[in-house]
């Protein structure tokens, strides 16, 4: 029997990991975060599984911009990271800002981590 909480926990884990990665990133320094807005659970008739769908919103703390999209539980980690990248690079065009993110990081005293 498919349980809603199991699917919700799996998706929450992926979003938490992504948010933590953005928070600890030297370049983004927590500028962006992803949050779930709403969710739906659709169990299969034979109880072999379910589809879990959710609306996620990505927030840009610096500018206040927001984008939302619906995702299901299939390949959520890849889909969510791809969507976040698309928001940053294509929709909001963050790299065209003045100063660009690398220059902004330098102005704030953050530096590129040394490679081993």
Domain boundaries, the chain: 4-107
Other Cβ atoms within 10 Å of 26 Cβ, number: 11
**DSSP 8-state assignment for residue 17:** H
Q: What pTM did the predictor assign? A: 0.89
Mean pLDDT of 55-82: 96
Tell me: pLDDT of 2 over 80.
no
Check: CB of residue 109 under 8 Å from CB of residue 29.
Answer: no
Beta strands in the chain, from DSSP E residues, in sequence order: 32-43, 50-60, 66-72
| C-alpha distance from residue 113 to each of 12, 19, 26, 116 (Å) | 28, 19, 7, 9
Whether pLDDT at 6 is above 80: yes
The percentage of the chain sitting over the pLDDT mark of 90, rounded to a whole number, equals 86
């Amino acid at each position: 029997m498919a349980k809603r909480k199991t699917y919700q926990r799996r998706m929450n884990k992926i979003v938490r990991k992504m948010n933590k990665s953005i928070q600890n990133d030297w370049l983004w320094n927590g500028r962006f975060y992803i949050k779930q807005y709403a969710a739906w659970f659709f169990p299969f008739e034979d109880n072999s599984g379910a589809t879990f769908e959710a609306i996620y919103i990505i927030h840009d703390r610096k500018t206040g911009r927001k984008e939302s999209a619906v995702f299901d539980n299939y390949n959520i980690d890849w889909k969510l990271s791809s969507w976040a990248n698309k928001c940053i690079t294509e929709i909001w065009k963050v790299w065209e800002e003045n100063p660009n993110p690398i220059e902004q990081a330098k102005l704030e005293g953050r530096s590129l981590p040394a490679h081993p």
